């Protein structure tokens, strides 16, 4: 099953154009939608989740018209929004049973089995009688995944799921997401490059409501091999280097400033080649140095937040 989006556009009443003719072909598995805050990610996710209307365009999930058959979409949708609220005094097991009823799982025995299975899958079974107000941020996110997985959805959307999690909870949550990426179309919408690099077999970068590149992450990284150069410099020299070379990123390492430069040949004797990562793909695309806009690549370091 594929989610096929064609020429989707959305402009808000204040004139903000959130989406500008967005087209994507999203296959089964984990798909990363990468972009900074305000790039249009959440607007696109809300439209696909039937929570918002598009101005133009189309979206189809298999044979389902996503924009016109909203009730059908909701029957096969699992959605974990960027922010959600549960009553803090509600107990995890009871609340998940309540959502299971809303999802149409009416037979009590089946519902108990489903709730237990999901709480075990999300590593919350031992906390099933605890109130949600006592849960950590990562535990609340895992509970949100349990809710999203009710009814065996064919389309799962997770919007900025690891923002604000501590490193241990983030790793646990990413491991959970990797387990659910089989058998469904799963869209991971995030500004964190490393999440996409670790989980997604396909990805797109969005900015200003437009798709800048759609690619296989490993193929996009391979396109940059031999074209990213590194140099350690004084912070005061960065502006001069930016005037001379295509600097795609600067970062600090042990108090020193490291610049990454995009170039087809060594930009100078002081530069050394560096093995690129998905963060280099992101920054080179954002600065217009990675091929054409809306490029599609079909073949196959530490990443940081794309902010």
Query: What domain range is 204 assigned to?
Result: 3-215
Model confidence at 306, pLDDT cuts 50, 70, 90, reads very low
CA–CA distance, 17 with 198 (Å, rounded to integer)? 31
Q: Residue 33: inside a domain, yes or no?
A: yes
Mean pLDDT of the chain: 89
pLDDT at 300: 37
Is pLDDT above 60 for 128?
yes
pLDDT at 294: 40
Q: Residue 264: inside a domain, yes or no?
A: yes
pLDDT tens, position by position, 255-281: 889 999 999 999 999 999 999 999 999
Q: How many domains does the chain have?
A: 2
Considering the domain architecture, whether residues 179 and 238 belong to the same structural domain is answered as no
Contact 214, 295 (CB under 8 A): yes
Cβ-in-10-Å burial (0-12, 13-18, 19+) of 262 comes to buried
**Who contacts 217 (Cβ-Cβ below 8 Å, separation ≥6)?**
32, 196, 197, 200, 201, 202, 203, 278, 281
Note the pTM of the prediction, 2 decimals. Answer: 0.86
Q: Residue 104: inside a domain, yes or no?
A: yes
Considering the domain architecture, whether residues 89 and 172 belong to the same structural domain is answered as yes
Considering the domain architecture, whether residues 176 and 276 belong to the same structural domain is answered as no
Q: Residue 86: inside a domain, yes or no?
A: yes
Considering the domain architecture, whether residues 174 and 46 belong to the same structural domain is answered as yes
Considering the domain architecture, whether residues 196 and 100 belong to the same structural domain is answered as yes
Considering the domain architecture, whether residues 52 and 129 belong to the same structural domain is answered as yes
Considering the domain architecture, whether residues 71 and 127 belong to the same structural domain is answered as yes
Identify the domain boundary among 161, 188, 215. 215
pLDDT tens, position by position, 208-237: 999 999 999 999 999 999 999 999 999 889
Residue (of 215, 190, 209, 202) closest to 57 by Cα position: 209
CA–CA distance, 280 with 114 (Å, rounded to integer)? 42
Considering the domain architecture, whether residues 199 and 240 belong to the same structural domain is answered as no
Going by their DSSP bridges, the two strands 272-273 and 256-262 should be labelled as unpaired
Tell me what the mean pLDDT of segment 29-37 comes to. 94
Considering the domain architecture, whether residues 56 and 194 belong to the same structural domain is answered as yes
CA–CA distance, 171 with 161 (Å, rounded to integer)? 12
pLDDT tens, position by position, 193-210: 999 999 999 999 999 999
Is pLDDT above 60 for 79?
yes
Considering the domain architecture, whether residues 243 and 148 belong to the same structural domain is answered as no
**Who contacts 38 (Cβ-Cβ below 8 Å, separation ≥6)?**
none
Token pair recorded at residue 146: 């349990």
pLDDT at 163: 78
Tell me what the mean pLDDT of segment 3-14 comes to. 97
Q: Residue 294: inside a domain, yes or no?
A: no
Tell me what the mean pLDDT of segment 103-115 comes to. 93
CATH number for the domain spanning 45: value is: 3.40.50.300
Q: Residue 297: inside a domain, yes or no?
A: no
Q: Residue 65: inside a domain, yes or no?
A: yes
CA–CA distance, 307 with 191 (Å, rounded to integer)? 7
């Amino acid at each position: 099953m594929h989610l096929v989006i064609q020429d989707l556009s959305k402009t808000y009443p204040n004139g903000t154009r959130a989406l500008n003719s967005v087209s994507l072909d999203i296959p089964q598995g984990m798909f990363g939608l990468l972009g900074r805050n305000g790039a249009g990610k959440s607007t696109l996710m809300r439209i696909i989740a039937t929570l918002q209307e598009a101005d133009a365009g189309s979206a189809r999930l298999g044979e389902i018209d996503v924009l016109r058959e909203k009730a059908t979409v909701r029957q096969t949708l699992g959605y974990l929004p960027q922010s959600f609220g549960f009553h803090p005094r509600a107990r995890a097991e009871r609340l998940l049973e309540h959502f299971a009823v809303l999802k149409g799982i009416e037979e009590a025995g089946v519902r108990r089995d489903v709730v237990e299975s999901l709480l075990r899958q999300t590593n919350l079974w031992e906390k099933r009688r605890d109130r949600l107000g006592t849960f950590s941020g990562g535990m609340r996110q895992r509970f949100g995944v349990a809710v999203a997985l009710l009814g065996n959805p064919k389309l799962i959307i997770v919007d900025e799921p690891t923002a604000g999690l501590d490193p241990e909870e983030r790793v646990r949550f990413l491991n959970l997401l990797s387990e659910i990426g089989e058998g469904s179309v799963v869209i991971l919408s995030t500004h964190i490059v490393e999440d996409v690099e670790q989980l997604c077999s396909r990805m797109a970068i969005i900015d200003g409501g437009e798709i800048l590149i759609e690619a296989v992450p490993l193929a996009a990284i391979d396109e940059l091999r031999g074209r990213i150069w590194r140099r350690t410099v004084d912070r005061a020299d960065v502006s001069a280097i930016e005037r001379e070379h295509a600097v795609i990123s600067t970062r600090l390492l042990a108090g020193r400033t490291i610049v990454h430069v995009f170039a087809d040949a060594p930009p100078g004797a002081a530069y050394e080649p560096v093995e690129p990562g998905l963060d280099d793909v992101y920054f080179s695309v954002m600065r217009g140095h990675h091929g054409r806009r809306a490029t599609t690549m079909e073949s196959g370091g530490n990443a940081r937040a794309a902010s």
